[in-house]
Chain A
């Protein structure tokens, strides 16, 4: 039995220990916003936040997140309560097929938490782990930079809304 925090809730699973987090989240916990694109940590479609930082979860065995906090796109913001990046994504018409976008947004959110005012090179370095086969890159860039700008002006809060620390007593 492995226990971790998923979008703020303590959850437990008896999935086999080598099962990648991606499949536990998608199939066991039925949160399908995080996607399967390659299965070898080369496309970023499966990106989630583990203790606040972006990681590709298709190769991350569930044992690696025991006692940790996991945030998925569903925990970042909802249609009624959008994260500033999601708002920018919608307003700037970023998604095409949309399949990569959860991963893109999770990588971008982690970037802005670590570095609220990235320059273009820093942005590219953080985002190059995410493939977009539809080629939305110019808009992804634009959307992140616009949110960073709003963050600088205090118009939006950039700190990722996570999911508190592990409650007392949870096993690491």
Chain B
């Protein structure tokens, strides 16, 4: 890969990406009626995203959160392109909370769904182009020349061979109205978009100077840890905290909604004291269930006539045209997100104001939670967004922010609340478990004539809403929120199909007759979107069955898929890119190839995995991945996200299994919740199939195809078809 070398000056600037307005004197007001950015002295902020300071520094306020996906770099690149300023000269700050930073498609100010580049690609370029046009008009007036005689280069306006700083024209620009609909640059004129460039956060993240929530220390801060019910939803029946109270450094022990919080003068003291609490819990219904029961409940639901069904064409008719048919059941377990940085938050409340420091996927909800639990209005709350040490969906659930606020209020102290890894695995949110059943028929030409799919499992949408509502509507009484939530649960039970449970299961291929049945079975384990959401398991069922059907049809895996992709040229495009790419591979003896293809988040991906079997162990040596994600802003970040998505998906394919025992999660840390390590990591080749389409998802689409590609390779190696994840050889 290539990378530009940053100048030393660029390096130093880049380390400034620390968020929260810590470097530059600006005020981001939380009130939707006032501007998002109030410029410093002599500076201008023509919109919520850009500030130009008196000394020609450009600050970009990133409306989306940085969890490692590189979005702050990607969005800064859009701004740089249209402002005509090198990316490394832009100071990136994480935006505060303001209506202007709401996600253009979601209700909240949040980051997820691999959507950020797609939704900001044109609007952010537009504000930057308008800002540049404004400066050019001001310069023309100040210099007394025609605007057409001016041009820009690297942050300077050129007039008759002389360069003027953008900031020289702030005073005049302030008197003008911001133009709109300024023409955007043509692709041929791009200087930064589409080029490999070193990430602006790479330096800080390679020197230990990037600041995560976990690293925040403010004066007079105390550390809090919480003991929560081992079964989600349990409440304290009896608490004996005498031993903990007597321990060194412990200042407070308070009950909060989620359990019992211990406050101490250091993390270590809080950690020891929380272990000394003696709590008897009242357990909810979930305590009656273990993994076997949950699976059995899914199975009997599958065999019942329950469910919500959507049909296109007719399955009966499709099956009547089939020369062969097959029905298979698939099991995919609960999974944990385990971002590398466990969730945490610092909350300070004083003089009727509150301040929060945290890295989240949803700062707007975070602010609302502080408001709800402190009783303050959102106008009096400042959110400092920080780097997140991984998100993957976990940082869209913010109970830790409610907890930190409750403890701060109860103790009248500034609180840093930290979850341990054990908390993360045992008290958190999980990817849904599922049973999927697929019944398909094919005709003599190798065309799928019928595709009948059922998914049984928990619904994600009500839990997602439960996470959002209390923060988004901080003034709504809990009772009303609960009512809305139970109404939603009922909706998904028999009326609506929760797309997060089925997306991808009946998609991609031509399927002239298809049916989707969904049966909601909820046991009460909290569920959260997990990188690639429903696609993380539906692709496994769909793509392993497609492989099985290919064999039944007597066609190779590429040819069979091709025959059924006649109406999906972009997916066919990546499939054929992998087919071609594989021709360059030398496959060593004993190594086997499996392929898969799956579209998600409006992108199209195909993969080939090279696998060998060592004893009972599945070893993945190499992965070839082709992606069509439309226009590419930074190819190197696309490659990085694909590599990362494959590793994340491989952890799930080979190891991921959250097991429930009497309602509690059995796994507790990385010794029993195994994560892929470097000695098990395949080499990854990424082929970017660039098309003229608008940019689409990158952070998630690389994940879904890997498990089926590996399973299909395992079949080539062993003759065993695997119908459950994690993939385990008989």
State the A residues within 8 Å of B (CB). 15-16, 19-20, 23, 26-27, 30-40, 42-43, 45, 72-74, 77-80, 82, 86, 89-102, 105, 123-125, 127-128, 130-141
Contact = CB atoms under 8 A, between A and B. Distances in A.
Contact of A16 (B202, B208, B248, B420): B248
Contacts of B209: 33, 74, 79
Nearest to B12: A79
Given A42-B669, A96-B640, A101-B205, 20 more contacts: A36-B342, A74-B208, A82-B207, A86-B206, A89-B206, A90-B198, A90-B206, A91-B3, A92-B1, A93-B198, A93-B202, A93-B640, A94-B202, A95-B206, A96-B644, A97-B205, A97-B391, A99-B389, A131-B675, A137-B643
A91 B202 CA distance: 8
A125 B677 CA distance: 10
Contacts of A128: 677-679
A135 B211 contact: no
A23 to B, nearest CB: 5
A40 B212 CA distance: 21
Interface residues of chain A: helix, strand, loop or mixed (majority):
loop
14 contacts: A32-B217, A36-B342, A43-B670, A90-B206, A93-B1, A93-B636, A95-B202, A97-B68, A98-B387, A100-B389, A124-B679, A135-B648, A136-B640, A137-B676
A138 B683 contact: yes
Contact of A133 (B210, B217, B339): B339
Given A32-B215, A82-B207, A128-B678, A40 B199 contact: no
Contact of A30 (B217, B643, B671, B683): B217
A38 B670 contact: yes
Contacts of B681: 135, 137-138, 141
A133 B645 CA distance: 10
Interface residues of chain B: helix, strand, loop or mixed (majority):
loop
Contacts of B648: 133-135
Contact of A131 (B202, B214, B267, B677): B677
Nearest to A43: B670
Contacts of A135: 643-648, 676, 681
B721 interface: no
Interface in B165-216: 198-199, 201-212, 214-215
B659 interface: no
Interface of B: 1, 3, 5-6, 8, 11-12, 15, 67-70, 198-199, 201-212, 214-215, 217, 248, 266-269, 271, 338-342, 387-392, 418, 420-421, 636-637, 640-641, 643-648, 669-671, 675-679, 681-684
B636 A79 contact: no
B643 A138 contact: yes
Nearest to B685: A138
Nearest to B210: A98
Q: Point out which of B15, B217, B391, B675 has the most chain A C-beta atoms below 10 A from its C-beta.
A: B675
Nearest to A31: B208
A130 B206 CA distance: 15
Contacts of A127: 678-679
A153 B462 CA distance: 59
Contacts of A98: 68, 201, 204-206, 210, 212, 387, 389
A31 B683 CA distance: 34
A36 B198 contact: no
Contacts of B636: 93
A99 B390 contact: yes
Given A30-B217, A42-B669, A19 B268 contact: yes
| A-B CB proximity, top 10 nearest | A33-B208, A135-B647, A98-B205, A97-B68, A99-B389, A96-B68, A73-B208, A137-B681, A32-B215, A95-B205
A113 B729 CA distance: 40
A35 B390 contact: no
B208 A72 contact: yes
B463 to A, nearest CB: 22
A13 B103 CA distance: 47
A56 to B, nearest CB: 12
A37 B5 CA distance: 31
A101 B387 CA distance: 14
A77 B207 contact: yes
Q: Point out which of B390, B641, B645 has the most chain A C-beta atoms below 10 A from its C-beta.
A: B390
Contacts of A23: 266-268
A39 B421 contact: yes
Given A40-B670, A90-B206, A137 B640 contact: no
A89 B198 CA distance: 10
B340 A134 contact: yes
B198 A134 contact: no
Contact of A32 (B5, B211, B271, B646): B211
B678 A134 contact: no
Contacts of B637: 93
Contacts of B641: 96
A127 B418 CA distance: 27
Contact of A97 (B388, B421, B645, B684): B388
Contacts of B205: 89, 95, 97-98, 101
A79 B204 CA distance: 7
A24 to B, nearest CB: 9
Contacts of A16: 248, 268-269
A123 to B, nearest CB: 8
Contact of B199 (A33, A35, A95, A105): A95
Contacts of A39: 271, 420-421, 669
A82 to B, nearest CB: 7
Given A38-B421, A135-B645, A78 B340 contact: no
A139 B199 CA distance: 14
Contacts of B12: 79-80
Q: Point out which of B70, B207, B248, B670 has the most chain A C-beta atoms below 10 A from its C-beta.
A: B207
B669 A134 contact: no
Contacts of A42: 669-671
A31 B675 CA distance: 27
Contacts of A105: 206
A137 B650 CA distance: 12
A139 B418 CA distance: 30
A82 B69 CA distance: 24
B388 to A, nearest CB: 6
Nearest to A144: B678
A101 B390 contact: no
Contact of B208 (A20, A34, A96, A138): A34
Contacts of B248: 16
Q: Point out which of A36, A72, A98, A102 has the most chain B C-beta atoms below 10 A from its C-beta.
A: A98
Contacts of A35: 212, 214, 340-341, 389
A44 B34 CA distance: 45
B328 to A, nearest CB: 29
Given A27-B266, A82-B207, A96 B69 contact: yes
Given A20-B268, A86-B206, A94-B202, A80 B8 contact: yes
Contacts of B1: 92-93
Nearest to A106: B208
Contact of A93 (B199, B204, B647): B199
B9 to A, nearest CB: 11
Given A79-B207, A98-B201, A134-B644, A141 B678 contact: yes
Contacts of A134: 68, 340, 390, 644, 647-648
Contacts of B269: 16
A79 B15 contact: yes
A19 B248 CA distance: 12
Contacts of B340: 35, 37, 43, 45, 97, 99-100, 131-134
